[in-house]
Every structure is written in structure tokens, then in C-alpha cells.
Structure 1
């Protein structure tokens, strides 16, 4: 029970990595506030995470708006009395060639991925500064290595900003005993792919990326959730400012 008595906020927790992480946090003793844009999806996720409703609360809203992150943090403090962990997981993804990207595309990535994580982390740090805590950001392998098959210039730039933010916040927040780290996943089989491909396309396309990973398979939400929980736990009490690749070996090189 690594998180007994701990309180966590998770963004982008209606499905995929965020929901899996929330589920595991509760199973290890935490109480959680989950955020996402779709209230109905959040309610379904909350019921799956804890059907009693005692250990989970929902805070719906677009994380690109600073008030949304603040509301999630405020709810955690009001409902559960404190905040110990922030998992900044919300993100968007839709590969598009650089020459076709619009200003709207650019703003969508930067607002959701970078601005959203920035101001939610700020709200969380203010709530943690008296007693310490842990912030884990979901970054991306695409911020470390460009992949021609999935052109993602704006997405990659936004996540590179997240990685840089991790290092800066680690230094600034260390005096408050707040640790800040990130995971950088490669291809993880989550519903994000269904936002720009049909179910049939997803079923045909995702298996073609198995061989892209030296370990021979795509990631699953549980793979990333385990890494997030480690970084958020006291087991990682001497780790801050790290960006951990959780990528099946992709950034190590090619066989």
C-alpha cells in the first residue's frame, strides 16, 4: 500500500493511461480526483475505479484552461483534505505533415499539452509546498526522437517543452520537497488513436508498430502506469528532474 493516506489528482483520466493509473493508485490506498473533458466518461471511469465513490471524485473540464487544473486541485483539497500527487497525463495526438499544420493545430497541441500541464502543475505545487509531494508528467518519445511514419512536429515540440519544464520545476520546487519527473512513452495502445482513425483502421494499423519497438510489442496502459506509480512513490524519493523512456527500447537504438 505505497499510497495509503495519499491524495492524487490525475488529468486525462477518463480512459487509457490516466484511468489505469488512477485505478492502481486507489488499489494501493490513495484517494483520487480524476479530470477529463467528458463528464459522462469520467463518471463511468470513476465507477470502474471505485464503485463505492468514497475514494474517487471527478472534475470535468478542458485542461487547456488554467481554471480547470485549479478546480481539480481545489476539489482534492476540499474533498480529501490535501494533495500529495499530481499525474499530469492529459494530451492529444493526431499525426499530420508539417506543411499541412495550421495555426489552430499548433495552438491545440501547445494549449492542451504544454499550457495545460504548466498551470495544473503550478496549482498543484501551491497546494503541496507546505508538505511536499510528487508531480509526474506524461511526456513523449516523440519529443526525443522524430518518427517519419507519424509526422508530429507540433506535438513533439509541445512535449519537448514538457520535458524542459520537468527539469526546471525539479530545481525550483526541490526546496519545497516537491519532486517532478516525467515518463516518455512510445506507441501505447490507448483510445487516443480512435480519435483520428476508425476502429477498423486502428485494428489494422497498431499491430504494424509492434516491430518498431526492440522488445517486439506496443505498450499497454499498465506498462506506463507502473512507471508513473514508481516515480510518484516514496521508492523514487531521490529522483527528480528525470524523463524516463517507457518505450520498449525505441530510444536506445535499432537492432
Structure 2
């Protein structure tokens, strides 16, 4: 967490701000505290988007749907104020680093961690889809790792950003390595697209690049649409599942419920606090102590 800058607000709505958590295409993200002392993430919409009437309309619909998303593995939307200047929304704060940061610092996760990660993501997608939403941009930087499991953030935001300047070629928001073939082609982006992204996330967490490691975005997207993934190096127990998630045909991919059954945990992982390797667990613990 970074300290507030001199020109940053000290409060947004009824939430006192304590520091900066980051920034993205949508705007700035702050650590805040409710009047009762609960830590929250406060997302402030940047001016260019706030002035876009189409964005505001879409974001209002998606944010209201996001408020209905429950489940243990999501960061719940707490409050929204689109009438404010600038508009903002507040979500539950997850005191943990992103999956992207953990893998960058400590490398690939072992099979047990991948199974717990996959099961948590599947539970999150069940809750998101049950609210009538599709995440559309599930990726390692949108997954936070807490001591008791993963949390998915920023659901409901991608659809609101469609058609704005924050898009990949073709006008669709997404991250090329995690976009399903139908998303790249400009087709219907439904729940199966999130399942494709889940499979790509598991590959990334295992240290794999199933469609190649480098090159321009359009090259990577071509491979996703036309070539089969290379799953060499993925644990044997996960290879068939990930291959199914990465199927070209959306109808051939498993549902989140089927992924949960396939993972076959049912408490077998032991206490959830032991789900990450020791160094990654220390990183999560350090993040929590430094950011609360």
C-alpha cells in the first residue's frame, strides 16, 4: 500500500481513506475504513469514464447486479454512488496479494494449491453467474490470495467498460492470454468464457503459457482461436480438466459445478490456511500485516 498523495481525498462518502492500493483502467483504488472501522476497498471512477453516459448506464446495471453476488470467494460489493462527483463503489477489502504477484515472486504453485485455487475460482464463478453476470476478464491480477483461499474481484466491471477506449483490438475488453475464442471472435461472451479463463489462470499459476510465451497480442489471440494448447508440465491430475476448460467449443467446457466435482477436494486439503507453499503463505501474511 502507498500513502495518500497530497491531492488525494481524505474521505469518499462516509469512508475514511488510509492509503492507495493501486490504479487501473477504471480509476484509483484506495484502502478505506467504514464508520464502524471495517476495512474496505474504495474504487473511484476516473473522470473520462464518469463523463461517458453509456459507461455510466452500463456500470449502473452491472454494479447493481454485482451487489447480488454472494459466496465466500468473491469480494462483495458494499455500496455504490454513481451520482457522486466522481462516482465510486466500495467492496469488501481482501488483505492479500494478487495471484500474479505471488507467482511472479515465488514461481509456480504445486498441485494441491492449484486444486484449491481452481475450486475457489469455480465457487466464485457459480456465485457470479447466479447473479446474471459474466466476469469477462478473469485473470491472475483479478484474483487475490488470502490465508483462507482465493477471492475474485472486479466482476461486473468488464461489461461496463465495453466500447470505451480501454479495450483490446476489436473493441472488446479483456486480457488476450485469458480470452476465450468466442470473445476474440466478437461472439457471445457467456459463462463458458469465464471457464476458459479459469483454465488459462490455472496454467499461468502452474508456470505454463499454453498458447505461447511472447509476441504481439494479435498473435496470441490467433493461437487461442486456431491452435490447441500445450499443457506439457501441468500436473497429470489436472491436465484433462484444464484441457476441457480450454476447449474451443463453449458447449464442450465444464460448468463451475462440474469443475468442483472434478477437483474432488471435499476437505481433503486440510485446513485452508495450509493451501499455499510456505514462502507464498509468508507473503500473504506479510501483506496482511502491512496493509491493515
Question: TM-score, length-normalised on structure 2?
Answer: 0.26
- The structure that has the greater radius of gyration is 2
Question: TM-score, length-normalised on structure 1?
Answer: 0.28
